[in-house]
Amino acid sequence: MERDGLTGLGNRKAFFARGEERVAAGGDFALAVMNIDHLKRFNMHNGHIAGDEVVKAVALQLRNLDAFRIAGDTFGVFLRAGSDAEEIRQNVAEAVNPTQPVHCGDAHCMGPQPPPRVSIGVSAWRGESMSELFERTAAAMLDAKTKGRNVVVVA
């Protein structure tokens, strides 16, 4: 499996390959797509190195799952049907808590920021293609963002 260099998780290519395998095999499973809330703002205040540490900390919480980094601050996780994505959200919220923010001292800084959290969309597979499942789940994740972030939305 191809790995993401920063987190050690599978990369986007591996994510979609795994998804195609899961769809071909059938059975009960779900997909969670999660995005780190306000990471850009966090990076502007604390610097990109601190932001990379947040990405790695989120990945660490996913290490025992079938998880992939599919974009800069977006992760995909294949779950057993009925698994609780809320537990993942809570684990990240408890664990990802930078203790030593570095103020950037730049006019573009946006002031103190809360520790990053994740918004999660989750969908049970309903017999559709991987691309359809991903689109439905990604839409649920975007819905989580509009509902205040740091929440789980089930599609």
Nearest to 58 by CA among 47, 68, 43, 49: 68
pLDDT at 82: 72
Determine the Cα angle at 123 with ends 37 and 91, to 5°: 45
The Cα 44–Cα 51 span in angstroms is 9
pLDDT tens-digit map of 85-136: 988 898 888 877 655 444 555 555 555 556 678 999 999 999 999 999 999 9
Topology adopted by domain 12-154: Alpha-Beta Plaits (3.30.70)
Model pLDDT, residue 98: 57
Q: Residue 104's pLDDT is what?
A: 52
Looking at the chain, the whole-number percentage of residues with pLDDT higher than 90 is 63
Domain ranges of the chain: 12-154
| pLDDT recorded at residue 92 | 86
pLDDT digits (tens, 9 = 90+) for 34-86: 999 988 888 887 788 888 988 999 999 999 999 999 999 999 999 997 778 98
- Between CA 93 and CA 25 the distance in angstroms is 33
Q: Is 98 or 145 the better-scoring residue by pLDDT? A: 145
**Joined tokens for residue 66:** 């079938």
Whole-number pLDDT of residue 102:
47
Q: Record the pTM.
A: 0.87
Mean pLDDT for the chain overall: 88
